[in-house]
Amino acid sequence: MLGLEGRTAAVVGAASGIGRAIAIAFAENGAFVACADLDRAGVAETASMIEAVGGRAEASVVDVRRSADVDTMLDKVAAEHGRLDVAVGTPGINIRKPLVEYTDAEFEAVTDVNLRGGFHVLRGAGRIMSAQGHGSIIVISSISSRVVEPGQVIYAGTKAALAQMVRVLAAELGPCGVRVNAIAPGPVETALTEPIRASKAWAGAYAEKVALGRWARPAEIAGPAVFLASDAATYVTGEVLFADGGWVDLDAQFADEAAVGTD
């Protein structure tokens, strides 16, 4: 049920991190993967990594902020392969600072990638898939859509908005046979989190919030994406799948061993 043989998938944001891990995982499970990113060298490297182990992939340069870029790439994939079974949008940026210190340019930079970019993937894939009568769309939200952390106002707002967009679009496209879901990772070892991981204390504080006691590897977010793309999830839509090591649901855990098992 988890196999993706014969599927055509597009991964926007495939040059590194979670996007690269998802592209590789899709290929490992049998899909042809159209890898897209603004980073020309990075996305070409991802496609080469897939092809080096016998997978099938192609690379293209796409600016997720530009609707024409996203639409052209998705339309091309669907036209050349006769279908678009899966579309994934992963790009995201963050500028950590209090809201009252944000400039207009900084607000626009974060929302243009996270929110506008996510919208472009959702809309572009939704148009193709609703017409063909099937498909799975996946975008990357975050635990920040639920948890509160100072300095994350704009980033958290975009990720919460994506989560709600997924729910509403799932209702709109459900009658067309199209599923729409999001993955909400916790702390993941990517380029986006390098400033945090550079501080031993800061990185440790994040790890301590996770029930598993550690940061995730990008490949650990790819597993949920394979599930949502596959026939194992044919009755799953409108969901935000938290792949956070237990952070959100166990946020109030109490670690006093003396209290465990007492009345």
What gap in Å lies between CA 219 and CA 25, rounded to an integer?
8
Question: Among 102, 155, 206, 235, which one carries the catalytic annotation?
Answer: 155
Helix axes 117-132, 67-81, angle to 10 degrees: 30
155 annotated active-site: yes
The 10s digit of each residue's pLDDT in 175-221 is: 999 999 999 998 888 877 778 788 888 888 888 888 898 888 999 99
Tell me the one-letter amino acid at 249: D
181: which strand partners?
Answer: 138
pLDDT band at 260 (very low <50, low <70, confident <90, very high): very low
Position 133 pLDDT exceeds 80? yes
Alpha helix ranges (H) inside 1-148: 17-28, 40-52, 67-81, 104-111, 117-132
Domains of the chain, each with CATH number or no CATH: 8-243 (3.40.50.720)
Residue with tokens 């690379």: 59
Work out the mean pLDDT of the chain and round it to a whole number.
92
Torsion angle (degrees, nearest 10) of CA 245, 250, 256, 258? -100
Task: Supply the DSSP string of 167-230, one letter for each residue.
Answer: HHHHHHHGGGTEEEEEEEE-SB-SGGGHHHHTSHHHHHHHHHHSTTSSPBPTHHHHHHHHHHHS
